[in-house]
Amino acid sequence: MTMRDSTPNGRSPGSGRSPSRRRLLRLAGGGLVLAALGAGAVGCDDDAVDVEEPGRAAGDRPKGGGKASGDGGDGSATDGRAPKPLWTKSTSAETFGDNDELLVAGGVVLASGSPLAALDTATGSQKWSLPGGTVPGAPLLLGKDTLYLAANTYDGTVTGYDPATGKETWRSRLGEGYRQPRPIAVDDGQVYVVAEVLEDDGSSKTNVIAALDSTTGKVAWKEQRDLGTMQNGIHAAVRGRHLVYTDFKKNLTVRDTATGSQVWTQKTTKTNYGFFAVHEELVIVPQGRTLQAFTLSDGKEKWSLETSEAALFKEPSVVEDVLYIADSARTVRALDPRTGKQLWTSTALASAGLQVPRQYVRAGDTLYGATDLDKQGGIIAMDAKTGDVRWTFNDGTGDHHAWLVATDGKRVFALHGTELHALPV
């Protein structure tokens, strides 16, 4: 079924549960909303903190078949225990669990916060910082070796920076009649933003989606979205001529990147709070017990997969041409994203009593998953070919924030609240 980019009538059937306050904070993405809910900041500390017992809350060998990795003598994992961090820093992070709030680029690792501090990936020392920092809930977007940020002054400016040095390299404004434009996606030629349309009395009932030329900063196109759509809770991605995004109102929409015209829109009953994955010409969306892949060009279903009756699919990720997804029964699947064919299925997390990941990265032959909550969560290292649990890392703080994970291929970076750990691969 296709329809316009619009808002559903009430809650979707069988949605299972209402979003938690923390999940609402994550999805809201609006600076004013988050400020009202009391988002705070912690000052950045340049001195590394030695962690004496990394993984002390989950350091024992997992019950579900975790493998001993031998004593490498370099801080790497031994006997199924998590490796000792290469360094740990307290940061100014103000994250709400979106996967794009931790970024590695240009030899630095950045966690969304105020100030925005760029830490050297090898040592953890601060290389540069932006005093104003980031807009709470807004993504860290990287394209053409440029970091794109919404201005925390809320003056309609979108700015590009060199991630290696923090120097400004690009700037654009959508216009006077718009409020809080924030980047949602980027490709080699354009930066895509969503902004509120201002009424004469200063209020806003509608919003626009626009493309800014990443060379000149000029507006390439601008399209007003339907009444009732929201500028918050947007997740977006670009593939070729297609910009695909979801919003807080359970819209799944695809637009032409050259013109901004809407290609198709579908209402989704369950989109797992808007998370999806894209691969080549497909968008892959979890909807309760069903995982569906739609063709970007026309919205037709290419393949689908169902999980067990008592389970719901969680957030999907495509990493190195493999689709990884867990369900609420703690089963992890590796799929061919082109066909939906299962490459392997693992119940090791359930056997070990661990939480399921909601974000994945891969380094070498290890798949690293970041879970939503402490205390049975953290960073879970799995065999990328079988899903067997190798080790888990937990800092033992009990912080309620979701874990985030990123990698530069040499190290794995784990963010939990304001604590950032660099782990050896």
Q: Is the CB of residue 81 less than 8 Å from the CB of residue 391?
A: yes
Average pLDDT value for the chain: 81
117 has pLDDT over 80 = yes
Q: Which pTM was predicted?
A: 0.82
Which helix (H) or strand (E) element contains residue 348? Answer: helix 348-352
End-to-end CA distance of the chain: 45
Other CB atoms within 10 A of residue 293 CB: 26
30 has pLDDT over 90 = no
If pLDDT is split at 50, 70 and 90, which confidence band does 180 have?
confident
- Stretch 256-275: mean pLDDT, rounded? 86
pLDDT at 153: 72
pLDDT at 174: 84
The single-letter code of the amino acid at 85 is P
The span from the CA of 125 to the CA of 66, in Å, is 33
Of how many residues is the chain composed? 425
Q: Where are the alpha helices (DSSP H) in 5-60?
A: 21-28, 31-36
If pLDDT is split at 50, 70 and 90, which confidence band does 33 have?
very low
Other CB atoms within 10 A of residue 49 CB: 14
Torsion of CA 369, 370, 373, 378, to 10 degrees: 80
Other CB atoms within 10 A of residue 279 CB: 18
Other CB atoms within 10 A of residue 175 CB: 13
283 has pLDDT over 90 = yes
If pLDDT is split at 50, 70 and 90, which confidence band does 228 have?
low
pLDDT at 249: 78
The span from the CA of 355 to the CA of 337, in Å, is 24
48 has pLDDT over 70 = no
173 has pLDDT over 70 = yes
38 has pLDDT over 90 = no
- Stretch 3-9: mean pLDDT, rounded? 41
Q: Which of 364, 363, 369, 280 is nearest to 332 (CA)?
A: 369
pLDDT at 85: 97
The span from the CA of 218 to the CA of 232, in Å, is 24
Name beta bridge partners: 253: 245, 265
Q: What percent of the chain has pLDDT over 70?
A: 78
| Beta strand spans in 198-316 (E) | 206-213, 219-224, 235-239, 242-246, 251-256, 262-267, 277-279, 282-287, 290-295, 301-306
Which helix (H) or strand (E) element contains residue 380? Answer: strand 379-383
- Stretch 269-283: mean pLDDT, rounded? 84
Which helix (H) or strand (E) element contains residue 351? Answer: helix 348-352
If pLDDT is split at 50, 70 and 90, which confidence band does 155 have?
confident
pLDDT at 78: 55
- Stretch 167-177: mean pLDDT, rounded? 89
Q: Is the CB of residue 103 less than 8 Å from the CB of residue 92?
A: no
Q: Which of 346-350, 396-400, 414-418 has the lowest mean pLDDT?
A: 396-400
If pLDDT is split at 50, 70 and 90, which confidence band does 121 have?
very high
Helix (H, G, I), strand (E, B) or coil at 410: coil
169 has pLDDT over 50 = yes
Q: Which of 201, 316, 190, 272 is nearest to 209 (CA)?
A: 190
